[in-house]
Structure 1
């Protein structure tokens, strides 16, 4: 939806004062994260993908809260919790080993 500048995300992004090109950057990053998380293997990239999703959703919560739009914090907070739960409950085969490899 970000890549195609669709509602409800794009109008909210603009209303929060962000530049329109940020929608393309966020959309591309979300698409890349989804592909990496869905693919088998790639444990280090998965860590970065999950981190990116959490940073994105935390930023959305903070942006809405900073502009006193507390109702707008519910959805990104829920997505952040879901991403964190997905990361925490993933199978051992998708986790980095203790040595980081």
Structure 2
């Protein structure tokens, strides 16, 4: 029985190390990239212009990146973390598509593909305390588990009974 316990402990340690490694890499890139975007350094300004986006887009994107990095690292706020993961995933996959459709070679988007994979890995390895409670927000918003409006607080959306 001790070997099972030791094996389970080792798996938990490896999982935690994988989670924090992936999360640190994604959060660091979001934070540094976000600051670069907000500052509109020449490298990112030239890149975003080449991709066909206006330069003011950098300030918006950079602000969300910095907030996403913070959300991934602070304790609690599991639902906000979920949004941050979605934002990072959309940012990286959108960047891959933007690069490929504007003439960049597949090999030139490798870093973006790795960041996408690290985002998914971090999300998949999250400890239970960093995951939103199953359906708690949906039920709290006046919806049943099946997604139908319940008799809870809020408007009844035209229901008469």
TM-score, reference length from structure 1: 0.91
C-alpha distance in 1 between matches for 2:83 and 2:104: 29
Q: Does 1:96 align with 2:132?
A: yes
Which ranges of structure 2 fall in alignment gaps of 5 or more residues?
1-35, 138-161
**Is the contact between residue 61 and residue 72 of structure 1 (CA under 8 Å) also seen in structure 2?**
no
Separation (CA, whole Å) in 2 of partners of 1:45 and 1:23: 22
Query: Following TM superposition, by how much is the alpha carbon of 1:66 offset from its aligned partner in structure 2, in angstroms?
Result: 0.6
Point out where structure 1 has 5 or more consecutive residues left out of the alignment.
none
> 1:37 corresponds to which residue?
72
Secondary structure of 1:98's counterpart equals: coil
Pair 1:80-2:124 in alignment: no
Largest Rg, 1 or 2? 2
Deviation of 1:80 after TM superposition, in Å, equals: 1.0
Q: State yes or no: 1:2 paired with 2:34.
A: no
* Cα RMSD for the two superposed structures: 1.4
User: Runs ≥4 in structure 1, deviation > 4 angstroms?
Assistant: none
State how far apart, in whole Å, the 1-side matches of 2:113 and 2:136 are.
29
Give the Cα separation in 2 of the matches to 1:54 and 1:7. Answer: 25
Distance 1:83 1:33, change over 3 A: same
Q: Secondary structure of the equivalent of 1:24? A: helix
Secondary structure (helix, strand or coil) at the match of 1:90 reads: coil
Instruction: Report deviation, 1:3.
Output: 0.8
Matches within 5 A, 1:5-84: 5-70=40-105, 71-84=107-120
CA separation of 1:59/1:10 partners in 2, compared to 1, >3 Å: closer, same or farther? same
Find the residue that maps to 1:84 and give its secondary structure: helix
